[in-house]
Chains A and B, each alone.
Chain A
Amino acid sequence: AQSVTQLDSQVPVFEEAPVELRCNYSSSVSVYLFWYVQYPNQGLQLLLKYLSGSTLVKGINGFEAEFNKSQTSFHLRKPSVHISDTAEYFCAVSDLRGGSNYKLTFGKGTLLTVNP
């Protein structure tokens, strides 16, 4: 079975500082990886995804993530955050095994709080 660990439940940062939200996964087969963002009382919005190819993936709102197969990690980064980036961020994984198509496994989320 696959699993996702988001190493920090909360990350406070100051505006314009860089940020990294950490995600590690466990799976016995190749995976697809996703980062979603959730603003208060809303659904989840896709930030970026890794399917194949370049290990550095760029997403919306200036975020990027790097897939590291040897470390089974998919950390999310932004060089300079804004107040509006305050939200909860979820890492998710799906694998390529037959029979588990369509199912995503989510981490427990990281609450990013950007302070002025």
Chain B
Amino acid sequence: DGGITQSPKYLFRKEGQNVTLSCEQNLNHDAMYWYRQDPGQGLRLIYYSQIVNDFQKGDIAEGYSVSREKKESFPLTVTSAQKNPTAFYLCASSGGTGSSQPQHFGDGTRLSIL
């Protein structure tokens, strides 16, 4: 079945450490996204990529970095500059062009601070 795989499901970060969250999709979608979800805050966009080797900052990009070297992969690094990284992180993708395409989501990674 086609879908989006996020790993790991749970991740713990030590102070001063960078951690990388994995997101892989086999839907052949061009666009991919990273969201952060905090209780009562909805989803906030961190980064998005419309095509390989290109990505744009979302609303809360500070302290995060991404790469898009392959169409199917869009890893997110939470750097030590992100002072409040504890959250649920969701990866999504959408196909085709234009804003009418719905986004498909992975099952998320829950990041906590040790």
Q: A-side interface residues toward B, CB under 8 Å?
A: 9, 32, 34, 36, 41-46, 49, 51, 90, 94-96, 100-104, 106-109
Contacts and interface: CB of A to CB of B under 8 A. Distances in A.
Given A41-B110, A42-B108, 9 more contacts: A41-B107, A43-B90, A43-B106, A43-B107, A44-B90, A46-B102, A102-B33, A103-B99, A109-B40
B100 interface: yes
Which of A41, A44, A96 gathers the greatest number of chain B CB atoms within 10 Å?
A44
Interface of B: 4, 6, 31, 33, 40-43, 45, 48, 50, 58, 90, 92, 94, 97-108, 110
A41 B102 contact: no
24 contacts: A32-B99, A32-B100, A41-B108, A43-B4, A43-B6, A43-B92, A43-B105, A43-B107, A44-B103, A44-B105, A46-B104, A49-B100, A49-B102, A51-B100, A94-B99, A102-B31, A102-B48, A102-B101, A103-B45, A103-B48, A104-B99, A107-B42, A108-B40, A109-B40
A116 to B, nearest CB: 25
Contact of B94 (A42, A43, A102): A102
A9 B105 contact: no
A45 B103 CA distance: 9
Nearest to B39: A109
| Chain A residues touching B, majority SS | loop
Nearest to B6: A43
